[in-house]
């Protein structure tokens, strides 16, 4: 019986609805909403801009759900989903804790809108991509430089966030340089008088840090470039990182959302 601490779970540029991570969180005592934002049912088939009004509606839904205890919500996102979560934490109220898994802390390739505020896209140049020895594409350097560092206008204003932020970083991320972005986000917070955030970096770990014992995804189709790209990671190191990162995420949410971390007894 609830109510339970609430979490909104968002995936990345692949679109659609992915529920397995939300299901696992639910098994640990969190009322979790797996939130699709494009290419699912009546949602748009692609995204040209990101409007936070849609995500604000999901916050309202969770905060008023009888099984969610509040007073705040946790956010969990990976890749583009992480940047959406960081944007939500920056502009929306009642976000108590945010976990960014290999996010960039920037607007990336699309403008982020909320009411009268717009964050311009950082942009990229596909000419900076490289073809690996296996014939797959490496896009780690296609993004434009963060000119001006943490004051770049494409940076998400995370200093506005009310709750703490946990950055989970794969040091061998080949989607973009997550370690650099996390450090830049940390510099931005401290420059605005905020505490240094918790950053957990994993050597030999690629972009798709999934829950424990999920197979590592070394490469797959990337919708942005419409080609197969490498995600980085060494199998053993990546697998170990997934086990540890999951425990770190559960502990972080339990600490800041008031969860008990009591797990539902398995049926098998």
Catalytic residues: 79, 173, 207
**Angle between helical axes of 52-63 and 80-91 (0-180°, round to 10):** 70
Alpha-carbon distance 13 to 87, whole Å?
16
Q: d(Cα 92, Cα 88) in Å, to the nearest integer?
A: 5
Name the token pair of 10.
Answer: 């968002």
Let me know if 229 is exposed, middle or buried by CB neighbors in 10 A (0-12, 13-18, 19+). Answer: buried
Task: Identify any residues that bridge with 263 across adjacent strands, giving them in sequence order.
Answer: none
Q: Are the CB atoms for 229 and 138 separated by under 8 Å? A: yes
Is the separation of the CB atoms in 52 and 29 below 8 Å?
no
């Amino acid at each position: 019986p609830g109510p339970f601490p609430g979490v909104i779970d968002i995936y990345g540029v692949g679109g659609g609805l992915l529920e397995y991570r939300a299901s696992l969180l639910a098994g640990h005592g969190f009322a979790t909403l797996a939130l699709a934002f494009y290419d699912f049912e009546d949602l748009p088939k692609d995204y040209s801009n990101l409007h936070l009004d849609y995500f604000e509606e999901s916050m309202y839904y969770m905060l008023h759900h009888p099984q969610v205890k509040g007073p705040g919500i946790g956010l969990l996102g990976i890749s583009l989903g992480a940047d959406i979560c960081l944007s939500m934490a920056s502009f929306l109220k009642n976000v108590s804790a945010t976990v960014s898994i290999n996010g960039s802390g920037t607007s990336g390739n699309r403008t982020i809108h909320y009411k009268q505020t717009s964050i311009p896209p950082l942009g990229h140049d596909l000419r900076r991509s490289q073809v690996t020895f296996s014939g797959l594409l490496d896009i780690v350097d296609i993004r434009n430089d963060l000119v001006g560092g943490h004051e770049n206008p494409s940076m998400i204003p995370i200093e506005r966030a009310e709750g703490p932020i946990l950055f989970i970083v794969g040091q061998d991320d080949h989607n973009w340089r997550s370690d650099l972005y996390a450090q830049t986000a940390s510099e931005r917070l401290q420059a605005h008088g905020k505490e240094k955030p918790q950053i957990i970096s994993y050597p030999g770990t690629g972009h798709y840090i999934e829950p424990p014992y999920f197979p590592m995804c070394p490469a797959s189709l990337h919708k942005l470039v419409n080609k197969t790209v490498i995600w980085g990671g060494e199998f053993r190191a990546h697998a170990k990182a997934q086990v540890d990162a999951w425990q770190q995420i559960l502990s972080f949410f339990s600490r800041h959302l008031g969860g008990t971390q009591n797990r539902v007894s398995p049926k098998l």
